[in-house]
Amino acid sequence: MSETSPFKGKTGVKRILNATGYSLAGFKAAYQNEAAFRQIILLNIILIPLTFFLNVSRAEQAVMIAACLLAIIVELFNSAIEAVVDRVSLEKHELSKNAKDMGSAAQFVALSIIAMTWAVILLIK
């Protein structure tokens, strides 16, 4: 018996096209269903272009942008965790609460990375 998922099977360009479609669907679902994701996108729409007008090196600009994009990644994971927890059960359970709280804590860390990165680069020169 094969150990691979029955949902796997596409290879090459077809796999890449399918993966791209799944990724776009994920972005769409997050944007439509998650207010926190929309807020992180808005923050990035403001902060990333701002880096082009600041007196920072290219390396500093890249780090500032990377910190912003990290928050998007973390929010996608956080939203995915919340969706799975809710899919399993809407019943209040300590493990469900822990999972959601840990996802929220991860996003707090990501936002703290943005704040600290920008502060170090802009304020400590």
Catalytic residues: 75
Q: How far is the C-alpha of 35 from the C-alpha of 82, rounded, in Å?
A: 13
**What span, in angstroms and rounded, lies between the C-alpha atoms of 16 and 35?**
29
**Ligand-binding site membership of 91 (annotated):** yes
Please tell me whether 5 is known to bind a ligand. no
CA–CA dist 91, 102 (Å, integer): 18
Q: Is 8 annotated as a binding residue?
A: no
Give the span between the Cα atoms of 52 and 73, in whole angstroms: 22
Residue 100 labelled as part of a binding site: yes
Would you say 15 is a known binding-site residue?
yes
Is 22 marked as a binding-site residue? yes
In angstroms, the Cα distances linking 60 to 10, 43, 57, 118, 122 are 40, 18, 5, 9, 9
Binding residues for ATP: 15, 22, 34, 82, 91-93, 100-101
Binding residues for substrate: 15, 75, 104
Binding residues for a divalent metal cation: 34, 82
Binding residues: 15, 22, 34, 75, 82, 91-93, 100-101, 104
